A and B are shown apart, each in its own frame.
Chain A
């Protein structure tokens, strides 16, 4: 029997070896093997054979040889990849601007879409959101309709008993921001609600620890994850004790941090302690929600309300001469419902959502138009390439493939860039503009659809280009660079870029207007002096202690005046029913009021226009009133001094006391300049009234130890109560937090807008420069100098700018009028609000277009002309 080489080695060779080469390689290997068996013996021959087989394992032996090349679709595509990547590399600036521009647009669109979806998704996380309604109250009192967010205490219970469609009700009252104490830790900024046991069963706030019965027993408290961590350093705190205000409570549940799209924002829930609440119909303080049965209809419930509230209606009519009407708002609609008195819900504006929706559509359009323009500018430079493809038998389809590869490469750059920018923007929004977007919106189908849609859009644009360019262009035309895009498309593009430019001019103008308006707010005469005033909040119902505090402060050297009051900027004003003297005798009116201490007007530098100030030496000043100028005007008094007013001055408002007006003060505006000054009745805080806010006017030269010295006085009186103070001017500016946010949005909007408009101009300019390259070359040969060419390129854009400015003017006027109408006191528009944006836009234009203009002047004409 003849020896054979090891079978596995033979098989290995047959497996890896190129079939074309196998016969000769195997033949040679076998021949050598037989020789070696004869000379060296089988064992050595086997080993050497294995060694040979391993040595034959070379790239050239296993690879498919050059002759076996099979043209495939993939080969063709991979060639396209190479071409597309090279063309991206050749036009680096254009490519970067194109992709980054569209990425910024898309990222901003995504953030805005996220925000819109977030706004629309308010409270939709609640399982039964379509069946939960909030009950609010419309009260008509002496032809003055007030819409309160709160209801009488028993209304929920009455509805559950009297209307079979109601499945459940829940109510809560605001507990303000009480002081939380655990060991040494003290917190005083936590929003707290006192809620029914059914609160957690009705709303789907997620619980981390504990269950939905957590509020069933009195003296329980449910805290959020964040508050638990702040107080205890951990979230597993069930059963621990916590002192809230004057009460000692047990933690019975820990909520996950509330979703950002909840209309209620709170840090803790305290269980409803029936014994401490005045559960009667006259107590209009409860926020009430009812949940209807799955098959119930709201109209049926509404129909049964008048019968249910019959006795209450009669009571209201008899006692207050008012009418009461319950209004139902679906849970999901609360966020967009109009402003209500005493509302604690987070409100949004549906108008803003519509405006944002428009902006999204516009941005998307802009981004895509810019992308299209820049792609076209690129295609005109690569017309010759198309010609070459044609000559070698390429069809429109093959060119389309090339552009598809182009588009895919662009997508590969744009998608990660967009994702990164959107994420960064989302974080920045959260940190710098307190615009929180719930992360859950990413899973929303609309959001996902938009993301996928915009990617497809970019691909579609490259296809669109292919249809335009590879359809009509003949080979020779593309070689001779004679092909021009159609004029109608150019007009459309010009219009769209003009739109961008107009909107950025309007944006710049709006920024100017907001800046001027804020300067106006800060400098305007508010009727009182905010400088060098410290505002201290006192949490004590005992007036003697407050008076002691004020007296002690007066002794400090650096303090000139101290005055207490029940009212501070940003705090809800209190309205009361006063009887006011008029031509028809005494009439009842609901008027904002304020009780204050002796030195109050002096501390705030509020000036009297008539009469005299309160005087401590004058015994009957407890019964004297001071009104503001608006009140005097509204009550129809020509000479206010000596007119009669009766009001609930003493002891909680039961007994009316009649008094005379002793003075009129100039109007001062504690509310923001958004609203007109309201009439106000001011009286000296009688014994038994606590003035919650203490205003301390310091000397002009404030010593650095002022606040510590006030603090030490405070600590002597109230041990373990946090010292809460604020400079009055800071507190006052807080009223405009919402406006400041709008301003930030405007500023970011401006940045994005200018960027996009700049890109738009750049893309048109690039296109123009490409189309006119030969013209520029000829002009240069004939003798035009650089400056001439520069202005020639600029000229067409200057006309463009003027047209945009003309369109922008009414836009600026309308938009700033809309925004300014939010303020009762506002600036007048001046010519500078129109001219400065135009000038700025002109500068941007010169910079952007100048790039191409400069290139046009520096080009070597030979390069341009030999293209023929």
Chain B
């Protein structure tokens, strides 16, 4: 039985990794963070708000240009899509670009989280300590 799960697990890892490598769907740590932020800020995810959200949640100082860069890449990979919002008063009338998660973005997010959790569960001492 153990044998079986092990094989299944290895197959799964293999599948994930090949999937990532072959399609270039590898998510960096910061990319993952931005993607999660967009997911948790429905309808109000744009450059500044995402930056603030990350700072607020993680306590990390993030530069706005880095956020823009990652957003562009994620959109290029098809995990995000964007549209311009209406005119605003607080920034000289300039419009905001709002980002929302696409289906494939949600999928990759789920996969990465699942993989992390799976790996995390394999650490015996952790599980033992926590329980």
Contact = CB atoms under 8 A, between A and B. Distances in A.
A174 B92 CA distance: 99
B95 A55 contact: no
Contacts of B68: 24-25, 28, 56, 61
Given A32-B48, A60-B72, A27 B92 contact: yes
A71 B84 CA distance: 28
Contacts of A52: 63-65
A28 B48 contact: yes
Nearest to B68: A25
A30 interface: yes
Interface string A12-41: 000000000001111111111010000000
A31 B63 contact: no
Question: Which range contains the number of A residues in contact with the other chain?
Answer: 10 to 19
A58 interface: yes
Q: Do most interface residues of chain A lie in helix, strand or loop, or is the interface mixed?
A: helix
Interface in A376-424: none
Given A34-B90, A58-B69, A60-B72, A27 B95 contact: yes
Contacts of A24: 46-47, 68, 84, 94-97
Contacts of A55: 63-66
Interface string A290-327: 00000000000000000000000000000000000000
Interface residues of B, number: 19
Contacts, number: 54
Contacts of B23: none
Contacts of A31: 48, 90-91
Contacts of A29: 64
A25 B48 CA distance: 10
B46 to A, nearest CB: 7
Contacts of A28: 46-48, 64, 68, 91, 96
B72 to A, nearest CB: 6
A24 B64 CA distance: 11
Contact of B91 (A34, A56, A58, A60): A34
Interface string B53-71: 0000000000111101100
Contacts of A27: 88, 91-92, 94-96
B60 to A, nearest CB: 16
Report which residue of B48, B84, B88, B95 has the largest number of chain A beta carbons within 10 angstroms of its beta carbon.
Answer: B48
Interface string A572-600: 00000000000000000000000000000
A58 B90 contact: no
A589 B65 CA distance: 111
Interface in B81-117: 84, 88, 90-92, 94-97
Contacts of A32: 48, 64
A774 to B, nearest CB: 38
B109 to A, nearest CB: 23
Contacts of A60: 69, 72
Contact of B94 (A23, A56, A58, A61): A23
B92 A30 contact: yes
Interface string A43-61: 0000000001001101011
Report which residue of B66, B69, B88, B91 has the largest number of chain A beta carbons within 10 angstroms of its beta carbon.
Answer: B91
B63 A30 contact: no
A52 B84 CA distance: 22
A52 B47 CA distance: 13
Contacts of B94: 23-24, 26-27, 30
Contacts of B72: 60
28 contacts: A23-B84, A23-B95, A24-B47, A24-B68, A24-B96, A25-B68, A26-B92, A26-B94, A27-B92, A27-B95, A28-B46, A28-B47, A28-B64, A28-B68, A28-B91, A29-B64, A30-B92, A31-B48, A32-B64, A34-B90, A55-B64, A55-B65, A56-B64, A56-B65, A58-B65, A58-B69, A60-B72, A61-B68
Given A27-B94, A30-B94, 13 more contacts: A24-B47, A24-B95, A27-B88, A28-B47, A28-B96, A31-B90, A52-B64, A55-B63, A55-B65, A55-B66, A56-B65, A56-B68, A58-B69
Nearest first, the 10 closest Cβ-Cβ pairs linking A and B are A27-B94, A28-B47, A55-B65, A24-B97, A31-B91, A27-B91, A30-B91, A56-B65, A28-B48, A31-B48
